[in-house]
Amino acid sequence: MINSLTPPPRTRSGCRREAGRRLLHALLVFDDLGQRQLLFISSYAAKESGPHGHEAGPRDG
Protein backbone atom coordinates (compact mmCIF):
# COMPACT_ATOMS: atom_id res chain seq x y z
CA MET A 1 0.00 0.00 0.00
CA ILE A 2 2.66 2.51 1.04
CA ASN A 3 4.90 1.62 -1.89
CA SER A 4 2.04 2.13 -4.35
CA LEU A 5 1.22 5.54 -2.84
CA THR A 6 4.78 6.86 -3.14
CA PRO A 7 5.83 7.52 -6.75
CA PRO A 8 8.70 5.32 -7.96
CA PRO A 9 12.04 7.01 -8.73
CA ARG A 10 11.62 7.69 -12.46
CA THR A 11 11.82 10.58 -14.89
CA ARG A 12 9.14 13.25 -14.71
CA SER A 13 7.51 11.88 -17.84
CA GLY A 14 7.27 8.47 -16.16
CA CYS A 15 5.72 10.01 -13.05
CA ARG A 16 3.29 11.92 -15.23
CA ARG A 17 2.26 8.73 -16.97
CA GLU A 18 1.79 6.94 -13.64
CA ALA A 19 -0.24 9.85 -12.24
CA GLY A 20 -2.31 9.96 -15.42
CA ARG A 21 -3.07 6.25 -15.21
CA ARG A 22 -4.00 6.50 -11.53
CA LEU A 23 -6.17 9.56 -12.19
CA LEU A 24 -7.96 7.83 -15.06
CA HIS A 25 -8.42 4.72 -12.94
CA ALA A 26 -9.87 6.80 -10.08
CA LEU A 27 -12.19 8.66 -12.46
CA LEU A 28 -13.35 5.38 -14.01
CA VAL A 29 -14.02 3.92 -10.56
CA PHE A 30 -15.99 6.99 -9.48
CA ASP A 31 -17.85 7.05 -12.81
CA ASP A 32 -18.74 3.38 -12.37
CA LEU A 33 -19.83 3.67 -8.73
CA GLY A 34 -20.78 7.35 -8.87
CA GLN A 35 -24.44 6.97 -7.92
CA ARG A 36 -23.87 4.41 -5.18
CA GLN A 37 -21.05 6.46 -3.67
CA LEU A 38 -23.08 9.68 -3.79
CA LEU A 39 -26.15 7.97 -2.31
CA PHE A 40 -24.06 6.41 0.45
CA ILE A 41 -22.28 9.70 1.21
CA SER A 42 -25.55 11.67 1.20
CA SER A 43 -27.26 9.17 3.51
CA TYR A 44 -24.21 9.08 5.79
CA ALA A 45 -24.01 12.90 5.83
CA ALA A 46 -27.73 13.07 6.64
CA LYS A 47 -27.20 10.72 9.59
CA GLU A 48 -24.10 12.63 10.73
CA SER A 49 -25.64 16.11 10.49
CA GLY A 50 -29.02 14.89 11.85
CA PRO A 51 -30.68 17.37 14.24
CA HIS A 52 -27.35 18.63 15.59
CA GLY A 53 -26.21 19.80 12.17
CA HIS A 54 -29.48 21.63 11.48
CA GLU A 55 -29.43 23.27 14.90
CA ALA A 56 -25.80 24.36 14.68
CA GLY A 57 -26.27 25.99 11.27
CA PRO A 58 -28.85 28.72 12.12
CA ARG A 59 -27.26 29.40 15.51
CA ASP A 60 -23.83 30.04 14.01
CA GLY A 61 -25.26 31.97 11.04
Gyration radius (Cα) of the chain, Å: 19
Where in the chain are the domains? 2-60
**pLDDT tens, residue by residue, 16-52:** 777 777 777 666 666 666 666 666 667 766 776 655 5
Q: What is this structure's pTM?
A: 0.23
CA distance 57 to 61: 6
CA distance 30 to 38: 9
Provide the 8-state DSSP code for 10: -
